[in-house]
Amino acid sequence: MKAADFSEQVRRGGNMTLSEQVRLVISLSIPVILAQISSIIMRYIDTAMVGNMGAEATAAIGLIASSTWLLNGMCSGISTGFSVQVAQMIGAGREYDARNVFRQAIISALIFGGCLTLVGVSISGVLPVWLGGAEEIRANSTRYFRIFACMLWVTQLRQLSSSMLQCSGDIRTPSILNMLMCGLDVVFNLFCIFPTREVAVLGLHFIMPGMGLGVAGAALGTAIAEGLVTVLLLWVVCIRSDKLDLRKRGSWKLQKECLTTAAKVAIPMTFEHVVECSAQVVSTKIVAPLGTISVAANSLAVTAEGLCYMPGYGLAAAATTLVGQSIGAGQKKTARRFARISVVLGMTVMSCTGILMYFLCPYVFRMLTPDQAVQSLGATVLRIELFAEPMFAASIVAAGALRGAGDTLIPCIMMIASMWGIRITMALLLVPRIGLAGFWIAMCTELCVRGILFLIRLLREKWLEKAALV
């Protein structure tokens, strides 16, 4: 579906039947869900590659995983601050203003991404020590994080390009390109992680060249794949997009109103990511003293769970676009219905994936690592958290709908209260007593409470009463 056709459907959303609106939500979310699933499969393959090097290699990446999420989340906040404006302006038919916002977003992304890169590189040497990592995994953690940090400005541009295309109504293109990135990541990892070796396929033997970089190779392979896809995304959004083509008339001048509006959306969301991921960092410090097996099992359980919640993020992206463009078109009732449909679909899908993973997780862990102790512990703790998937879905998709209306401050406060008031507090009490299972019990409880809070926020509709064209 072209962005122009999509925007026209949103403008007539009030005249659509419930079944037509459901189909629109599904058709919009499927490409993102497929991209997210391919991303998780990529992570499975990556993890399996690293897992073949032993529990220490898995733990080295798991140690700094929460820190990479933190910086990725900060990039996401900046992208959303501008893309929500673009969604609403396109919904209102203000394409010239949307292009101006996009231009300012590029400048801001380069500045912010560059600063994140400098900060990330500067702390890469001491971060594993701050996180309480064991001596034997610190060097690999540092190498992995340093390569990741060098690419943060590229990550910022990739997220901005994807978000802009999605909010303009072009969901398919960024989804396809992000799936391509997953495939390229696997290919480049094969060359970067392992040394040159003899490989047998269908009885044929040949020499597979390799760099033999180990854990650092996993980061380098991802960096190369991300760089190539970012170039393609920028070309599509800057040249091929019928809504955001930078060859069309527009201004590169920074405007106070645009930056202020972006800040109102981005700052709470970025702060939310900072607080949430800071809580993840604290969680890592809580888990780290349990030993390498627990750190590895915790990291793999988080990776395995991704297959369950990625559909929720696909529906959240659809909700952001549909709600944003509906509000831009002045159709608040349609925005309400799209938000509710998305949440119900998200809870249904993630309930099904949670049930499926409950039975499949032992086999998933066998694929991810040959270490039987890690397999057993990982499957045990993951099954605890899977009971929270329906409410986790409610929080993910509701947050996406609220972002489309520019409502990020109250969700930020709810997230902070939930993460620090429940998850961290319970983890501090339970982990010393019952080990890694205590952390996952705390996580399950917190996700259920978070989902209830977001449902209350969505259904009370104060966000909708205050929603206005940015």
Q: Is 207 helix (H, G, I), strand (E, B) or coil?
A: strand
When pLDDT is cut at 50, 70 and 90, the band that residue 39 belongs to is low
Please tell me whether the overall predicted TM-score, pTM, comes out greater than 0.85 for this model. Answer: no
Instruction: Tell me the two tokens of residue 346.
Output: 């998200």
pLDDT at residue 9 in the model: 54
Rounded to 5°, the CA angle 213-217-220 comes to 135
Give tens-digit pLDDT for 386-444. Answer: 999 999 999 999 988 888 777 778 888 888 888 889 998 999 999 989 999 999 999 99
* One-letter amino acid for residue 309 of the chain: Y
Residue 204 has pLDDT above 80, yes or no: no
Give tens-digit pLDDT for 144-194. Answer: 889 988 999 998 898 889 888 877 777 778 878 888 887 888 888 888 887
Q: Which domain holds residue 320?
A: 3-466
Q: Which stretch of DSSP H or E encloses residue 196?
A: strand 195-201
> For residue 215, what are the CA distances in angstroms to 72, 198, 308?
20, 21, 26
Asked if 70 contacts 354 with a C-beta cutoff of 8 angstroms, the reply is: no
- The count of domains in the chain is 1
Rounded Cα gap, residues 61 and 216, in angstroms: 9
Task: Render 184-227 in DSSP notation, one character per residue.
Answer: HHHHHHHHHHSEEEEEEETTEEEEEEEE--THHHHHHHHHHHHH
The proportion of the chain whose per-residue pLDDT surpasses 70, expressed as a percent, equals 86
* Mean pLDDT calculated for residue range 269-295: 77
Give tens-digit pLDDT for 114-141. Answer: 998 999 899 888 888 887 777 778 888 8
Give tens-digit pLDDT for 284-299. Answer: 778 878 887 888 888 7
pLDDT at residue 469 in the model: 47
Tokens 């400048």, located at residue: 107
